[in-house]
Amino acid sequence: MTGEDAQIFLRYDDDPDARLILQGDWTLRNYVKIGQAIVDLQSRLPSSVEGRALPIDVSAMRALDTSGAARLLELLGPDAAETIARTGSGMSRERSALLRTVLDATAAAGQVPERQSLSVLFELLGRVGLSMELFWKQTLTLLGFIGLTLQSLALNVLRPARWRVTSIVAQIEETGLNAVPIVALLTFMVGAVIAFLGATILADFGASGYTVNLVAFSFLREFAVLLTAILMAGRTASAFTAQLGSMKANEEIDALRTMGMNPIEVLVLPRILALLVSLPLLTFIGMVSGILGGLVVCTLSLGISPTMFFAILKEDIPLRHFVLGMAKAPLFAYLIAVIGCQEGFKVSGSAKSVGEHTTSSVVQSIFIVILLDALAALFYMEMGW
């Protein structure tokens, strides 16, 4: 062997007195040779010294790295290695620290933490607590992002030179104009279903004529804005999250910051402003389509002519129902856009993360829309509107 090779010597006498002499380079280069030397040593170890803690001499060891420390641990065992790491036994301070680190890492890797068994009640309470903590953190994050967007909007509303008109118009086309067919079709069909069910039930009481009031009242106050907002939550919020998430994964947002641009102004504000314009217009289209769906059913099933239908609509349905329904549209639009953009910025960089945050944006948007609509309905009722 050369001077750089690792060598293990066992010296013993007849009394018997033996000790291990370690020398050479205990490094990755000699990892295989050290292993073979350990096997040879164990085969040549006399029975008179087996099971005894032999004195170790490491003064002739030239070098030691983590692989050599692992072989040393394999040769001596954890107890003897702990003794050498603690006392030094001729080792330098650095090598003793390295051996102690390898020993601790090996011990930690072999330990499997015991899972404390809990009752079903404690498991349930723990899951509820974790869910509430996550909900609270998401709420704080959403409120912070809302404040950030409002601040950016306030700083730029009086600075027309910073308005991105092209981006806003493009987003209006994508979120508003392209969504007209699906919104109109869905609200038309729902209006027809409500009119059919209302006519069927009210016929038992001889009040089929009130089907017109039912359709108009429900769509002006609730169904048009609610259905449109849910459609936008599934269609637009997910698109915002996927777009911004892909940009985040491709480091395009970091590139914008590098060029001195504010991602909130460039990416978020145009989407918010576009949805603030699109959702009220789509809500109006939903109101008209839903009422037309009810008109078709009333004409075909109840014999109510279009002239009579619109006469009842004009006489019995006040304008305030239309105003109350439209008043909720900007709020829903703002929250849907903010949630979609915020989840896009939270993407970590993988395709899985994009999918998870896209799903989260849709769920959060629908939940917020339904919650606020219920609160608004209670508020309107208490105010007598």
**Quick one: three-class SS letters along 52-87?**
CCCCEEEEEEEEECHHHHHHHHHHHHHHHHHHHHHH
| pLDDT over 60 at 111, yes or no | no
Residues 282, 184: Cα–Cα separation, whole Å = 8
- pLDDT for res 366: 93
Q: Which residues of 72-96 are buried (b: 16+ CB within 10 A; e: fewer)?
A: bbebbeeebbbebbeeeeebeeebb
| pLDDT over 80 at 90, yes or no | no
Mean pLDDT of 26-51: 74
Residues 273, 188: Cα–Cα separation, whole Å = 27
- pLDDT for res 382: 87
| pLDDT over 90 at 333, yes or no | yes
* Top-level class of domain 7-110: alpha beta
- pLDDT for res 31: 83
DSSP 226-283: HHHHHHHIIIIIHHHHHHHHHHHHTTHHHHHHHTT--HIIIIIHHHHHHHHHHHHHHH
| pLDDT over 60 at 11, yes or no | no
Residue 203 CB neighbours (<10 A): 13
Residue 86, CB half-sphere, CA atoms under 13 Å: how many? 7
Mean pLDDT of 101-118: 67
DSSP-derived pairing of the beta strands 7-12 and 56-64: unpaired
- pLDDT for res 79: 75
List, for residues 349-363, the tens digit of each pLDDT value: 777 888 888 898 999
Supply 92's token pair: 């330098």
- pLDDT for res 12: 46
Q: How confident is the model at residue 338 (pLDDT cuts 50, 70, 90)?
A: very high
Instruction: Tell me where in the chain the CATH 3.30.750 domain(s) lie.
Output: 7-110
Residue 271: partners with Cβ closer than 8 Å, 6 or more residues away: 171, 175, 240, 337, 340, 341
Mean pLDDT of 182-191: 93
Residue 337 CB neighbours (<10 A): 29
- pLDDT for res 289: 94
Q: Which of 181, 154, 190 is nearest to 297 (CA)?
A: 190
- pLDDT for res 9: 56
Mean pLDDT of 243-268: 86
- Burial status of residue 224 (CB atoms within 10 A of its CB: 0-12, 13-18, 19 or more): buried
List, for residues 125-138, the tens digit of each pLDDT value: 888 988 899 889 88
List, for residues 269-317, the tens digit of each pLDDT value: 999 999 999 999 999 999 999 999 999 988 888 888 888 888 888 888 8
- The mean pLDDT of the chain is 83
Mean pLDDT of 58-72: 81
Choice among 14-18, 19-23, 200-204, 303-307 with the minimum mean pLDDT:
14-18
User: What is the pTM (predicted TM-score) of this model?
Assistant: 0.67
Terminal Cα distance for the chain, rounded: 98
- pLDDT for res 259: 87
Mean pLDDT of 70-85: 77
List, for residues 316-327, the tens digit of each pLDDT value: 888 888 999 999
- pLDDT for res 224: 92
Mean pLDDT of 234-262: 87
Helix runs in the chain, H state only:
31-44, 66-87, 93-110, 120-156, 165-175, 180-202, 211-218, 224-232, 238-249, 252-258, 263, 269-297, 306-316, 319-345, 351-383
CB 354 within 8 A of CB 246: yes
CB 36 within 8 A of CB 71: no
Residues 48, 41: Cα–Cα separation, whole Å = 14
| pLDDT over 80 at 80, yes or no | no
Residues 233, 256: Cα–Cα separation, whole Å = 27
Q: Which of 61, 60, 265 is nearest to 162 (CA)?
A: 265
| pLDDT over 60 at 48, yes or no | no
**Among the ranges 12-26, 68-82, 106-120, 236-250, which has the highest mean pLDDT value?**
236-250
Mean pLDDT of 209-237: 90
Mean pLDDT of 238-244: 90
Q: How confident is the model at residue 2 (pLDDT cuts 50, 70, 90)?
A: very low
CB 373 within 8 A of CB 328: yes
CB 229 within 8 A of CB 369: yes
| pLDDT over 60 at 171, yes or no | yes
Q: How confident is the model at residue 112 (pLDDT cuts 50, 70, 90)?
A: very low
